[in-house]
Every structure is written in C-alpha cells, then in structure tokens.
Amino acid sequence: MPSTTTANAPASGSSSVAARTMPAPATTVTAGPSSLAASPAPTAASRWGWFGVITLVTVGIDQWTKVLAVRHLPVEPWSYFNDTCRLQLAYNTGAFLGMAGTWSESARFWLLTVLNGIFLVGLAGVLVWPWRMPLGRFIAGAGILAGGIGNMIDRVTNDGKVTDFMNLGLVSVRTGIFNVADMAITGGALLLAWYWMREEQTAANQSANPV
C-alpha cells in the first residue's frame, strides 16, 4: 500500500493561548492643545471645581497686583529688559486697551458696567449649565469670565476706572497699558479662536474626504 503522510496541524488551543498572551501595542499620549481639545466634557462636580479655581486665582492675583501697583508704581514708567517691559500706573476709563475712553460718562456706564455686567452673568450661566462643553473651551470661557470680573470690581469700586500697570513692546511697537485681568481675557479669547479654527479645519477635512 502506498504510504500517506499527514501534516500535523497546529493545536487550536495553543494558538488561542498565544493570541491571548500577545502584549498589546503601547500607546503614547501626548499632552498639549490637541489632547485638551479632545478631552471629554467636565462633569458637574469638576465643572464647579474648574470654575471656582480659575475665578478665584485669576481675580485674586489681579486684585493683589493692582493694589501693589497703586501703592508702589509711579506714573512715569519703570523700564526693564532693554525697555521691553514697562511698569507704570494708569487708570483706564474705557474698555480693553483704552477703547471707548473718550465716550461720555453715561455711555461708558451703560456699555462697560451695565451691558458688560449682563454679559458676564450670561457667560457664567453658560459655563455652569450642565451641557456638554469640551474642557479646553470651558477653561477659555472661565478665563474670560474671571478677567471680566476682575475689571468689573475696579469699575464698581473706583468710579468707573480700571487700574492698569503693564506695557510690552519692541522699539516703537508697543501694547497699551494692561493688567492681569486683560491677560486672562486675551488668553481665553485666543484659546476660543484656536478651537474655532480647529473645528473649521476638521469640517473641511470631512467634506473633502467623506466616509
């Protein structure tokens, strides 16, 4: 009789064990703006926590530095780092960087105190309302709110004037005189703008490459 050879098939049990014991590929998580944008919406408890921390820290530092500026800074600027940074005391009756400063007192009151106060209350409601908002966008909004509160305290307690004391620039190109609250507002606005551009780019990519 002709001899027959039979190939030995691998045992299914050993292959399944090997599959189960294969190590999973390592994943690397990179921190940064993209990971912040992809982070889930904060829970109700963490929402209040972020809201409280950002507001208290920003308003606290803003008011503390303003007190120091009033007590120690002259009207004439102190120059540092080859005139890149200047510290000088100034009172702003207008909006950001002095805008609307030449308006009448009544117009400034209605715009910068009443309407601005309504805007801040509305923004606070949006932030604490339990709806899904990415963490990075929530932090940006909280920064804008905290900066607005810091300057609003000045307007209410200092006859409509906001205390400013910092100025940055190179050669003849300089910013206006600003404060910590202005920095929080600007930082929050820039972060929101980055979110908007990122969402626009994502929408454009999805339109160009439909599933």
Do 68 and 166 meet the contact criterion of CB atoms below 8 Å apart?
no
Residue holding tokens 């998580």? Answer: 29
Q: Which helix (H) or strand (E) holds 95?
A: none
Is position 164 annotated as part of the catalytic site? yes
Query: Closest Cα partner for 93 from 84, 77, 105?
Result: 105
Q: Catalytic residue among 83, 154, 159, 182, which?
A: 182
Beta bridge partners of 162: 92
Question: Tell me: the pLDDT tens digits for 50-74?
Answer: 899 999 999 999 999 999 999 999 8
Q: What angle do CA 120, 123, 58 make, to 5 degrees?
A: 65
Find all residues with CB under 8 Å of 142, minimum gap 6, and list them. Answer: 50, 51, 54, 55, 127, 188
Please identify which of the residues 62, 83, 154, 164 carries the catalytic annotation.
164
pLDDT at 26: 45
**79 DSSP β-pair partners:** 86
Q: Produce one character per residue of 55-90: b if its CB has 16 or more CB atoms within 10 Å, e if not.
A: beebbebbbebbeebeeebeeebeeeeeeeebbbbb
Q: What is the 3-state secondary structure (H, E, C) of 178-191?
A: ECHHHHHHHHHHHH
Residue with the larger pLDDT of the pair 52 and 1 = 52
Asked if residues 166 and 78 have their Cβ atoms less than 8 Å apart, the reply is no
Q: How far apart are CA 164 and CA 40, in angstroms?
A: 37
pLDDT per residue over 154-196, tens digit each?
999 998 999 999 999 988 899 989 999 999 999 999 999 998 8
* 182 is known as an active-site residue: yes
Give dist(CA 148, CA 188) in Å, integer. Answer: 11
Percentage of residues in the chain having pLDDT higher than 70: 76
- In whole angstroms, what is the distance from residue 154 CA to residue 116 CA? 13
Neighbour-count burial of 140, counting CB atoms closer than 10 A to its CB (0-12 exposed, 13-18 middle, 19+ buried): buried
pLDDT (tens digit per residue) in 101-149: 677 888 888 888 999 999 999 999 998 887 778 888 899 999 999 999 9
Q: What is the pTM of this model?
A: 0.74
Query: What is the C-alpha to C-alpha distance for residues 115 and 175, in angstroms, rounded to an integer?
Result: 26
